Structure 1
Amino acid sequence: MAAGFTEQPLPTWRRAVLKVGSSLLTTPDGALTGRHADALAAFVAASRRAGREVVIVSSGAVAAGRGLATPERGAGLTGRQALAALGQTRLIALWQTFFDAPVAQVLLTHDDLRNRRRYLNARSTLRELLAIGAIPVINENDTVAVDELKLGDNDNLAAIVAALVDADVLFIASDIAGLYTANPRTDPDAAPVMEVAEVTPEHLASAGGAGTVAGTGGMRTKLDAAIKAAAAGIETVLFDGRDAACLGRLADGALVGTRLRAPRSRLAARKYWLRHAPSAGRVTVDPGAVDALRGRGASLLPGGVVDAVGDFARGDVVEILAGGEPFARGIAQYGATDVRRIARRHTRDIEAVLGYSYGETIVHRDDLVVLPDAARLP
Structure 2
Amino acid sequence: MFDLTKWQRIVLKVGSTLIAPDGKGCSSRYLLAIAHFVVRCRAMGIQVVLVSSGSVAAGKHLFSDNVTNNRDVSITLKKAMAAAGQSEMMAAWDRLFDFPTAQLLLTQDVLQDHASYTSVRKTVFELLDHDILPVINENDAVSTDNLKVGDNDNLSAMAAAAVDADCLIICSDVDGLYDKNPSQHSDAKLIHQVDNIDSNILSMAGDSVSGLGTGGMFTKLEAAQKATAHGILTFILNGLKESSFNQLLQGQNPGTCFMPAETPMQEKVHWLTHTSQARGEVIVNNNIQAKLQDADLKLDYSDIVDVNGDFAAGDTVLVRDEAGKKIAKATSRSSSCLLYFLTSDDVDDSIVESAQISGPVIVKNELAVLETK
Structure 1 residue 71, shift from structure 2 partner: 2.5
| Residue of structure 2 equivalent to 1:153 | 151
Q: How far apart in 1 are the matches of 2:55 and 2:266?
A: 33
| Residue of structure 1 equivalent to 2:60 | 66
| Aligned pairs for 1:4-43 within 5 A | 8-9=1-2, 12-43=6-37
CA contact (8 A) 1:211 1:217 kept: no
CA displacement, residues 222-252 of structure 1 (integer Å, 9 cap, x when unaligned): 0010111122111210111111122122123
Structure 1 residue 28, shift from structure 2 partner: 3.0
In the alignment of these two chains, the number of paired residues is: 271
SS in structure 1 of the partner of residue 62 of structure 2: coil
Structure 1 residue 114, shift from structure 2 partner: 0.4
CA displacement, residues 173-208 of structure 1 (integer Å, 9 cap, x when unaligned): 111111111011110111110100011111111111
- Extract unaligned runs of 5+ from structure 2: 271-292, 297-313, 315-373
The answer on 1:270 being equivalent to 2:266 is yes
Which amino acid in the other structure matches residue 146 of structure 1? T
| Aligned pairs for 1:206-245 within 5 A | 206-245=204-243
Q: How far apart in 1 are the matches of 2:172 and 2:225?
A: 17
Q: How far apart in 2 are the matches of 1:214 and 1:30?
A: 11
Q: How far apart in 2 are the matches of 1:196 and 1:47?
A: 25
Structure 1 residue 142, shift from structure 2 partner: 0.6
Q: How far apart in 2 are the matches of 1:19 and 1:9?
A: 20
CA contact (8 A) 1:194 1:257 kept: yes
The answer on 1:261 being equivalent to 2:259 is yes
| Residue of structure 2 equivalent to 1:334 | none
- Extract unaligned runs of 5+ from structure 1: 1-7, 280-312, 314-378
Identical amino acids, percent of aligned pairs:
41
| Residue of structure 2 equivalent to 1:130 | 128
Q: How far apart in 1 are the matches of 2:67 and 2:185?
A: 37
| Residue of structure 2 equivalent to 1:370 | none
Structure 1 residue 31, shift from structure 2 partner: 2.9
The answer on 1:78 being equivalent to 2:76 is yes
| Aligned pairs for 1:134-213 within 5 A | 134-213=132-211
SS in structure 2 of the partner of residue 238 of structure 1: strand
Q: How far apart in 1 are the matches of 2:109 and 2:259?
A: 29
SS in structure 1 of the partner of residue 203 of structure 2: helix
Q: How far apart in 1 are the matches of 2:67 and 2:262?
A: 47
| Residue of structure 2 equivalent to 1:103 | 101
1:119 pairs with one of 97, 110, 117? 117
Structure 1 residue 271, shift from structure 2 partner: 8.0
Q: How far apart in 2 are the matches of 1:151 and 1:272?
A: 19
Change in Cα spacing, 1:149 to 1:271, as seen in structure 2 (3 Å) is: closer
Q: How far apart in 2 are the matches of 1:72 and 1:82?
A: 16
SS in structure 2 of the partner of residue 56 of structure 1: strand
Q: How far apart in 2 are the matches of 1:273 and 1:35?
A: 40
Which amino acid in the other structure matches residue 62 of structure 2? L
Change in Cα spacing, 1:73 to 1:145, as seen in structure 2 (3 Å) is: farther
Q: How far apart in 1 are the matches of 2:295 and 2:182?
A: 46
Change in Cα spacing, 1:231 to 1:143, as seen in structure 2 (3 Å) is: same
Change in Cα spacing, 1:272 to 1:68, as seen in structure 2 (3 Å) is: closer
Q: How far apart in 2 are the matches of 1:17 and 1:54?
A: 6
User: What is the Cα-based RMSD across aligned positions, in Å?
Assistant: 2.3
Which amino acid in the other structure matches residue 209 of structure 2? G
CA contact (8 A) 1:15 1:168 kept: yes
Change in Cα spacing, 1:142 to 1:272, as seen in structure 2 (3 Å) is: closer
CA displacement, residues 247-278 of structure 1 (integer Å, 9 cap, x when unaligned): 1221232221110112226xx5438969x997
Structure 1 residue 85, shift from structure 2 partner: 0.5
CA contact (8 A) 1:159 1:226 kept: yes
Q: How far apart in 1 are the matches of 2:66 and 2:108?
A: 29
Structure 1 residue 78, shift from structure 2 partner: 1.1
Q: How far apart in 2 are the matches of 1:10 and 1:182?
A: 30
Q: How far apart in 1 are the matches of 2:255 and 2:47?
A: 21
CA displacement, residues 281-303 of structure 1 (integer Å, 9 cap, x when unaligned): xxxxxxxxxxxxxxxxxxxxxxx
CA displacement, residues 334-359 of structure 1 (integer Å, 9 cap, x when unaligned): xxxxxxxxxxxxxxxxxxxxxxxxxx
CA contact (8 A) 2:23 2:58 kept: no
Change in Cα spacing, 1:190 to 1:10, as seen in structure 2 (3 Å) is: farther
Using the size of structure 1 for normalisation, the TM-score is: 0.68
Q: How far apart in 2 are the matches of 1:136 and 1:130?
A: 7
CA contact (8 A) 1:10 1:255 kept: no
